[in-house]
Amino acid sequence: MVVGAGIGGIQASLDLANSGFKVYLVEEEPTIGGRMAQLDKTFPTNDCSMCIISPKLVECGGHPNIENLTYSDLIDLKGEPGNFKASIRRRARSVDESLCTGCGECINQCLVGNRVYLDVKVVEPVLPEDERMAVNEILDKHKKSRSPLIPVLQDINSHFNYLPPPVLKYVAYKLNVSLAHILRVATFYAFFSLEPRGKHIISVCMGTACHVRGGERILEKLEDELGIKYGQTTEDKNFSLDMVRCIGCCALSPVIRVDERVYSRVRYNTVMDVVSKYG
Ligand code: FES
């Protein structure tokens, strides 16, 4: 038995199972994967977490020697090495696991969020007229899309330079999705911001190649000159300073990006010449 189905527990289970042992993998959360499945990148190589863990999740989920006991707690353990007796309590999932395909439809049908069953009177959130018209235009543009949420959020982010919370409430109402779901998406992607941002976004690459070629000093220089730390916006709302992990042109490092434009082989002494072009 392996307790805990994070990356360590999964790897241990796979090693044991591949050696011919029957493995019971016990996890208190409803799914295996643990913290690593929630991360974007891993230290120190900045490799994509999901690229590492996904093949292991698939193997672990379908391995004939592994029985996944998710949403379960180890409540008692007696015995000695070689002869343990464990008591596991499995919590009710309220879905038939043998039929579950992971489609997520049960989330849509959940009574907690279902307005029809709960009979809650939903009132259209009020927005200033110009904002309402701008958002309606964006919603109209994507109304034929099967999953309009991300494109809608992208356009709102470009229009307002961030995602204003009242606008998100309005979008939730219009698209008939929960605000919690919108916030989950909005906070997952670094591209989106829930805080007002500057007219120009300066992103300093801190991927491995840029880091070793002076990315950190360039960031320091920008912080000193603009008088803000990364993640902040200048008082005149002209610049916001961000950090990104690899823009995808490592051979040209160190690089910074101002809005959509990438500047390569930026130097400590000349970085402000680049920035000053943006006023
Ligand atoms: S590390 Fe900066 S572009 Fe790849």
Q: Which atom of ligand 1 is nearest to the CA of 247?
A: 3
Nearest protein CA to atom 1 of ligand 1, as residue? 207
* Each residue's pLDDT tens digit, 120-162: 566 888 999 999 999 999 999 998 887 889 999 999 998 998 9
Taking the centre of ligand 1 as the mean of its atom positions, its distance from the CA of residue 270, in whole angstroms, is 19
Mean pLDDT of 169-191: 87
pTM above 0.75, yes or no: no
Q: How confident is the model at residue 106 (pLDDT cuts 50, 70, 90)?
A: confident
pLDDT at 117 over 70: no
Q: Which atom of ligand 1 is nearest to the CA of 249?
A: 3
From 34, 37, 40, select the one nearest 53 (Cα to Cα): 37
Query: Which position has the higher pLDDT, 40 or 115?
Result: 40
For residue 68, is it left (φ>0), alpha (ψ between -120 and 50) or beta?
A: beta
pLDDT at 23 over 90: yes
Q: How confident is the model at residue 119 (pLDDT cuts 50, 70, 90)?
A: low
Taking the centre of ligand 1 as the mean of its atom positions, its distance from the CA of residue 131, in whole angstroms, is 37
Mean pLDDT of 221-242: 92
The answer to whether the CB of 243 is under 6 A from ligand 1 is no
pLDDT at 246 over 80: yes
Taking the centre of ligand 1 as the mean of its atom positions, its distance from the CA of residue 252, in whole angstroms, is 8
Strands (E), the chain: 2-3, 23-26, 41-42, 47-48, 66-69, 72-80, 83-90, 200-205, 239-244, 256-258, 261-263
Give the Cα separation of 231 and 169 in Å (integer): 24
The answer to whether the CB of 252 is under 6 A from ligand 1 is no
The answer to whether the CB of 1 is under 6 A from ligand 1 is no
Mutate to test the pocket of ligand 1, among 246, 252, 257, 264 (most ligand atoms within 8 A of CB): 246
The answer to whether the CB of 256 is under 6 A from ligand 1 is no
pLDDT at 190 over 80: no
Q: How confident is the model at residue 203 (pLDDT cuts 50, 70, 90)?
A: very high
The answer to whether the CB of 46 is under 6 A from ligand 1 is no
